[in-house]
Structure 1
Amino acid sequence: MNSAVAGIYETEALQQADELRISDKENARKLLDSIDKQKLSADEVILYEYIDAVIQLFDGDVKQAAEVYQRLLLTVEDAKLKIRIQASYLNLLASLGKWEEGLALGEALFSQLAETDDTELQQRAYLGLIAFYDQLEQPETVLILTSRIVDKENVPPEVKCGALAARINAFFKLDDYSYTFTDYNDASQFCLKHNLTIYYAVLEVSKVNWLMNKGEYSEARLFLEKLLEVPEVQNFVPQTTTVLSKYAEVNLLLGDTAEAKTAAQRVLTLDTEVNNSSAVISALDTLHKIASDESNFEQALRYLEQLMALQAQESSAQLSKQLAIQKAWFEIDAKQSQIELLDKQNALLTAKAKLSGESLENSLLALSLVSLLLASLIFWSYRSHKIQAKLKYYARTDMLTQISNRAYFNEQCNDCLNQAQKNQSKMSLILLDLDHFKNINDSYGHQIGDWALTQVAKVISATLDEEAIFGRLGGEEFGILLRGEHSEIALQIAERCRVAIERIEPTVSEYQFKLTVSLGVSNTSQVGYKFENLYAAADLALYQSKHYGRNRVYEYSAAMAE
C-alpha cells in the first residue's frame, strides 16, 4: 500500500472509530489500533487521542480522561473539534466535582455555540451541557436544553438517546409523571435498536423507577432481571451495582428477603471502593432493614453505622457541591455587579466634573445627580451582601418545609455535641418518621404528600423552643436535637410532637386520612457525644416504635443492640 492510499485509509478508519466510539467501543478500539498515527495530520492526532480517551472512559478512569481532554484543549486549533472536547470535558468536571470550573466553561461554551451554525455540532455540545446541568441538579435547564435535541430531525442516535435519558430523569426530579410507560419504553427501545446499551440501561432503570412509583413491584422486578442479563450492564460495574441495588429494594418490598439480601450483598462485594455511592447506600439500607426485621440487632447496628458514615460523607460532599455552585454563581453575579458599579462610578466622575464647571443653578441640579449616583453605589453594595445571605440560606434550608436540611442539621448537631462534651451537659436526639407515608403519596398524589410534610414541620416547630435544632433528614424523616435535656424531658417533648401530628386535619381537600408518626429517642448519657452513635441509637428506638404498632414513642436502651 503506497503512502497516499495509506493516508486515505487512516482518515477513513479514524472517522469510523469516531462514529462507533459509544455504540461499539470494541470495534472502535480495533480501528484505532489499526491506524498508523504517523500518517495523521495534527488535528487528526488530537481526534485520535480524544476518541481513545472516550473509549477508556468506559473503564471508569474519569481522572485520566479529564487530564487528556485538558491537555488536548491546550493544543487543538480546529474550532469544531475544540467545542466537542470542551463538551466532553465539561461532563467530566461535574463527575470530579469541579463545579466552579465547569460553570465557567459552560458559560464559554454557550457563547461559542451562539456563533456557529453547525446544527450537529451544537447538538453534540448541548449533550455535554445537559450532562453537566443534570449533575448540577438543574432539571429546568436540562429540559430547556433537551428540547433543542429530542424534538428535532436528523439528530445522531447517541445524542438523541442521551437527551431522552436526561429529559426523563429531569421530569422525575421535578415530580412530573406526565411521561407514560409507553414513552419510557419507546425511548429505551430506540437506544437498544441503535446498540446504545449504556443509554438503554439508564432508561430501563428510569422505567423501573416509574413502575415502583406506581407500586407495580412485580413488573419492576421482571425488567431488572432482564437488565441484569445484558452483557454491557454486566461488564460495567457502576450500572451493575445500580441495577442490583434496585433489584434488592424491589425484592424486599415484595417480601423476598433472601433474594434482596443476596443482591444487596453483591453490591457491597462489587463496589468495595464505593465508586457508586448511591447504590451502596441503597444496599446498606436494604441489609439494615432485613437484619432489623430478623431481630439481628447487632448486625443491623453494624449496617446502620456503615450507612450513616457513608450518608455523612455524601451530605458533606453535597454541601460542598452546593457551596461551590453558589459561590460560582455569586462570583458571576458579582462580576456583573462590578461592571455595573464601574459604569456608575464613571457616571459619578462625569457628574463631578460637570458640577465644578457650571453655574450655581446647574450645580444644584448636578449635585442631585451625584447624590442619586452615590445612592446607586450603596444599593449595589447592599445587593451583593443580600445575595451572599440568600446563597447561605439556600445551602442550609430544605426548600419544601423551610427548616434545616440534612447537611446543615448534621453540621449543627456535631457543633452542639462537641460543645456539650466540653461542658458535660446532656443532649437528646429525637428521630421521627411518618407512618405509611408512601400510601398517602400513592393514594392522593405527591402534592398532598408535600402538604402533609409542610404541616408536620409547622406543628413540630410550634411545639419546640428556640434552643432546639430541627431538620428534615430526607423523605418523611425528621430529626430534633434538644440541648441540655435529660431523657425524661426528651420523651415528654417527643410525646407532645406525636400528639400534635395526630391532631393534624387534612382540610386541604375532600381526602380523609390520618397522619401519625413513630419516634425514637436517645440521650448522650446512654451512648456518648458522637453524633453517629446518638443517631444509631435513636434509629433503633424508632424501629421499635414501628415494629410494635407505630404512632408511639420509644426510648433507646442498651438491650436493643444486643
Structure 2
Amino acid sequence: MKKKTSRIRRLRIDAAGSAMKHPGQGLTRGWLLAAILFCIPVFVLASPQVEEKLVQAEGMRSSEPVRLRHLLGELRDMEGQATPLQNARIRYLHAYAKAYAGEYDEAIGEARKLLAEADDVDVKVRAGGLIVNSHAATRNFAEGLRQLESTLQLVPGVKSDDVRWHIWVAAAVLYNQIGQYELGLEFSRKLEASPIKPRTKCFAGQLRLEALLNISGLPEKDSEITEVIDYCVEQKELVVANLTRILLARKWAAEGDRRKAIALLRRHLGEAEETRYPRLSVEMHGLLAQYLLEEQQIAAAEAHARRVTREASGIAFTLPLAMAHKTLYQIAERRNDVGAMLQHYRNYAEADKAYLNDVKAREMAYQIVRQETLQKSQQINQLDQKNQLLQLQSRLDQQSAQNTRLVVLLLVVLIASIGYWAFKVKRVQLSLKKLAETDALTGVCNRHNFTLRAEHSLAQCARAGEEAALVMFDLDHFKQINDRHGHQTGDWALKQVTQACQNFCRRIDALGRLGGEEFAFLLHGCDMRNARRMAEDCRMRIAGIDTRETGFDFPITASFGVTTTAVSGYSLAKLLSHADKALYRAKHLGRNRVCGTDDEPMVSVLGEAGEIPAVLAEDAALDGDYRAARLERAC
C-alpha cells in the first residue's frame, strides 16, 4: 500500500509540475490533470447509500487517491443498488482514476465507451472533457482538439453549471497549450464572468493572464496580477500562485526592473520547491539564472542554471532547459573556456531544437483540425442544398472516390516506404563502409584500407611496368606532446599533420595512418628522386605548423623514410620494412629529416636558426592542387 501511495504521489507531482512552461506554450500536463479535478456535479439522488459514497469519492479525488480507489471498489460492488445515472457517474470516476494515475490509453477507452452509451448530456460532456485532457496529456493535440470540438457542441444541453465550467477550463488550457491564446482568453473570460467556485476562479485568472501575456502583454497595473496571486494563495493553490508570480517577474524584467524580479523569485523559491512540482522549480531557477547573469552575478547564475539541467534533463521540449544551457554557454564564454563553451552550445542547440519542434507540432495539430472543421462545414452546406436522391448519389460517388484515393495513397505510401528504406539502407552501408575504411581521428585511410589500396596500386604498377614509391613518416617526440600538453593537444597535432600532408596526395595515391603517430604514402608512378622531394616538401609543411592556437607553443616535426619498387620490389610488406628502416635511420641521425634506401639521407633545409629559407617557404605555401599536379608531372 505504501509503495502504491508513493507511486501515485509521484504521478501527481510530475503531472502538476508539468504546469511549468514558457508563456508561449501555455499549461502542460499538470494543468491538464488539474482540469480533470474541477467540477463533479451532484446529480439527482436515487440510492442514498450509493450517493453518499459518490460524494465521498468526488470530495477526495485529488487529496486521497488511494482512498478513492477503495471507494470505487465499494461502489463497484453496489452497482446493483444504483440507478443508471449513478452507474454512469461511477464509470466516469473509474476512468478519471486511471487518467489521474497516468493510464491515459485505458482512461480514453473507458471514457469513449461511456460517451457512446450514456444518455445524460452532463455525463457525456464530462466524459468528453476527460478525453480532451488525456489526449493533451499524451501530447496528441489533434485528437484532443477533435474531441473538444464535438464536446463543445453538447454544451447548450448541459444542465449543471459545474459541468459547463469544467469543459471551458479544459478548452482554455488546451488552446493556451497549443498557442491559440485568443481562444484561450475567450474561454477564461467566460469563466470569470460566471458565478464559478473559488478554486475555479483562481485557475481562470491565471489562464487569462497567460493568454494576455502572449497576445497584447500583461496589464500595466501590477495590482491586477497580485489580486490573482492573493486569491490563489487564499485557496491554497500554491502551484498556480507561483506560476502567476513567474508571469509578474517576467513583466518586471521586461520593464527593466530585473532586481525586483529576482527578489520576488528568490522570496518564493523555497515555497515553490516545497510543492515538489519539478517544472515549477525548473522555471524559477531558469529565470533566476538568466536575470542574475544579466546582473553580472556569475556564480549565482551558474548555480541556478546547473540546477535546471539536473532537474529538467528528462524533459526534452522545455524552454527553461534550453535557456539554462545558453546561460552556461555564456558563462563559459566569459571565462574563455572553449571546451565548456562547445559542450554547452551543443546542449543548447539540442534542447532548443526539441522545444521548437514541439511548438511546431502543436501549431500543426491545430491547423490540421481547423482544416478538417472547415471541410466538414463545406460538405454539410453542400449536402443541405441537394435533395435526398442527389445526396445519396453524392455519397456513393464520394465513397467511390475515397476508396480510389485510399488505394492510390496506399500504393504511394508503399512505394515511398520501399524507396525510403532502400535509401536508408544504402546510407547505412556507405556510413559503415566509411567507418571501416577511415581513421576516426584524422579522416585518412586506416591501416587496413591503406593496405588494400596500396596492394591494388602496386599490382597496377607491376602490370604496367611502372615504378612506385612508399614514404613512411613518424612524428618526433609525440609522446612528449601528449605528456606535457595533454592528449587533446596531441589529437589536434595529428589532425593538423594529416591536413598538411593531404595537399601532397593525388587521387591515385594512398595516404594512411598506420598507427599512433605513424603515417605512410604510396605514390603511384614515382621514382626515388621525386618521392624524396615530395617527402621533403611534406616535412617542411609539418615543421611550419603554428601550434599557438592550442594555447601552447611547441614544435611539430617528423622523420621520413623513403623506398621504391626499384629497390624493394612490388611487395608491400618489403616496401614497409625498407621504409621503416630508412625512417629509423632518420631518427638516429637527429630526426626532422628524410632518409631513403639509397643510403643518402637528405640534409635538413632549415637554417641555423631553424627558419625556412624564403624560396622553400614560398614553395611550401603552394596550394594542394598545384602540388598534386606538380607531383603528377614529376612522376
Q: Write the distance in 2 (CA, Å) between the matches of 1:9 and 1:301.
A: 66
Q: How does 1:101-120 map to 2 (within 5 A)?
A: 101-120=143-162
Q: Write the distance in 1 (CA, Å) between the matches of 2:185 and 2:212.
A: 8
Distance 1:69 1:341, change over 3 A: closer
Contact 1:233 1:239 (C-alpha < 8 Å) held by counterparts: no
Q: In the alignment, what sits opposite 2:112?
A: 73
Instruction: Identify which of 195, 212, 229 aligns with 1:188.
Output: 229
Distance 1:33 1:283, change over 3 A: farther
Q: Write the distance in 2 (CA, Å) between the matches of 1:11 and 1:348.
A: 51
What TM-score do the two structures reach when normalised by structure 2? 0.49
> What is the letter of the counterpart of residue 75 of structure 1?
L
Q: How does 1:426-437 map to 2 (within 5 A)?
A: none
Q: In the alignment, what sits opposite 1:93?
A: 135
Q: Write the distance in 1 (CA, Å) between the matches of 2:160 and 2:359.
A: 37
Instruction: Identify which of 66, 70, 88 aligns with 1:43.
Output: 88
Q: How does 1:255-270 map to 2 (within 5 A)?
A: 255-270=296-311
Cα deviation code 1:194-245 (max 9, x no counterpart): 1222322221211221222222222222222233222675411122212211
Q: In the alignment, what sits opposite 2:199?
A: 158
Are positions 1:12 and 2:52 aligned together? Answer: yes
Secondary structure (helix, strand or coil) at the match of 1:149 reads helix
Farther off after superposition, 279-288 or 330-339: 330-339
Q: Write the distance in 1 (CA, Å) between the matches of 2:383 and 2:173.
A: 36
Contact 1:228 1:234 (C-alpha < 8 Å) held by counterparts: no
Q: Write the distance in 1 (CA, Å) between the matches of 2:380 and 2:49.
A: 53
Secondary structure (helix, strand or coil) at the match of 1:177 reads coil
Residue 96 of structure 1 deviates from its aligned partner by 2.9
> What is the letter of the counterpart of residue 201 of structure 1?
N
Q: In the alignment, what sits opposite 1:224?
A: 265
- Structure 1 unaligned residues grouped into runs of 5+: 1-6, 351-417, 419-524, 526-557
Distance 1:16 1:190, change over 3 A: farther
Contact 2:88 2:114 (C-alpha < 8 Å) held by counterparts: no
What TM-score do the two structures reach when normalised by structure 1? 0.55
> What is the letter of the counterpart of residue 291 of structure 1?
A
> What is the letter of the counterpart of residue 163 of structure 2?
L
Q: Write the distance in 1 (CA, Å) between the matches of 2:126 and 2:307.
A: 37
Q: Write the distance in 1 (CA, Å) between the matches of 2:212 and 2:179.
A: 12
Q: Write the distance in 2 (CA, Å) between the matches of 1:559 and 1:46.
A: 70
Q: In the alignment, what sits opposite 2:588?
A: none
Contact 2:182 2:211 (C-alpha < 8 Å) held by counterparts: yes
> What is the letter of the counterpart of residue 114 of structure 2?
T
Q: In the alignment, what sits opposite 1:300?
A: 341
Cα deviation code 1:397-450 (max 9, x no counterpart): xxxxxxxxxxxxxxxxxxxxx9xxxxxxxxxxxxxxxxxxxxxxxxxxxxxxxx
Contact 2:96 2:130 (C-alpha < 8 Å) held by counterparts: no
Contact 1:245 1:283 (C-alpha < 8 Å) held by counterparts: yes
Distance 1:233 1:250, change over 3 A: farther
> What is the letter of the counterpart of residue 209 of structure 1?
R
Q: In the alignment, what sits opposite 1:457?
A: none
Instruction: Identify which of 269, 272, 284 aligns with 2:313.
Output: 272
Distance 1:216 1:89, change over 3 A: farther
Q: Write the distance in 2 (CA, Å) between the matches of 1:329 and 1:150.
A: 27
Q: Write the distance in 1 (CA, Å) between the matches of 2:105 and 2:274.
A: 23
Contact 2:316 2:351 (C-alpha < 8 Å) held by counterparts: no
Distance 1:334 1:163, change over 3 A: same
Q: How does 1:312-391 map to 2 (within 5 A)?
A: 312-342=353-383
Residue 343 of structure 1 deviates from its aligned partner by 5.3
Q: Write the distance in 1 (CA, Å) between the matches of 2:214 and 2:105.
A: 28
> What is the letter of the counterpart of residue 93 of structure 2?
Y
Q: Write the distance in 2 (CA, Å) between the matches of 1:13 and 1:256.
A: 56
Q: How does 1:447-462 map to 2 (within 5 A)?
A: none
Secondary structure (helix, strand or coil) at the match of 1:147 reads helix
Q: Write the distance in 2 (CA, Å) between the matches of 1:81 and 1:226.
A: 44
Instruction: Identify which of 231, 236, 255 aligns with 1:214.
Output: 255
Residue 130 of structure 1 deviates from its aligned partner by 0.6
Residue 54 of structure 1 deviates from its aligned partner by 5.7
Q: In the alignment, what sits opposite 1:463?
A: none
> What is the letter of the counterpart of residue 346 of structure 2?
E
- Structure 2 unaligned residues grouped into runs of 5+: 1-46, 392-426, 428-498, 500-547, 553-635
Q: Write the distance in 2 (CA, Å) between the matches of 1:295 and 1:258.
A: 15
Q: Write the distance in 2 (CA, Å) between the matches of 1:239 and 1:140.
A: 24
Contact 1:66 1:89 (C-alpha < 8 Å) held by counterparts: no
Q: Write the distance in 2 (CA, Å) between the matches of 1:212 and 1:231.
A: 20
Q: In the alignment, what sits opposite 2:181?
A: 139
Q: In the alignment, what sits opposite 2:19?
A: none
Q: Write the distance in 1 (CA, Å) between the matches of 2:145 and 2:550.
A: 49
> What is the letter of the counterpart of residue 150 of structure 2?
A
Residue 11 of structure 1 deviates from its aligned partner by 4.2
Residue 108 of structure 1 deviates from its aligned partner by 0.9
Q: Write the distance in 2 (CA, Å) between the matches of 1:247 and 1:69.
A: 39
Instruction: Identify which of 324, 336, 347 aligns with 1:283.
Output: 324
Are positions 1:204 and 2:245 aligned together? Answer: yes
Are positions 1:239 and 2:280 aligned together? Answer: yes
Contact 2:209 2:218 (C-alpha < 8 Å) held by counterparts: no
Farther off after superposition, 205-214 or 183-192: 205-214
Q: Write the distance in 2 (CA, Å) between the matches of 1:33 and 1:232.
A: 31
Secondary structure (helix, strand or coil) at the match of 1:255 reads coil
Residue 119 of structure 1 deviates from its aligned partner by 1.9
Instruction: Identify which of 165, 168, 179 aligns with 1:126.
Output: 168
Residue 261 of structure 1 deviates from its aligned partner by 0.9
Distance 1:314 1:112, change over 3 A: same
Residue 254 of structure 1 deviates from its aligned partner by 2.1
**Which has the greater radius of gyration?**
2
Contact 2:316 2:354 (C-alpha < 8 Å) held by counterparts: no
Residue 275 of structure 1 deviates from its aligned partner by 5.2
Q: Write the distance in 2 (CA, Å) between the matches of 1:160 and 1:225.
A: 27
CA RMSD of superposed structures (Å): 3.4
Instruction: Identify which of 187, 207, 211 aligns with 1:170.
Output: 211
Secondary structure (helix, strand or coil) at the match of 2:190 reads coil
Residue 300 of structure 1 deviates from its aligned partner by 1.4
Distance 1:164 1:561, change over 3 A: farther
Contact 2:316 2:355 (C-alpha < 8 Å) held by counterparts: no
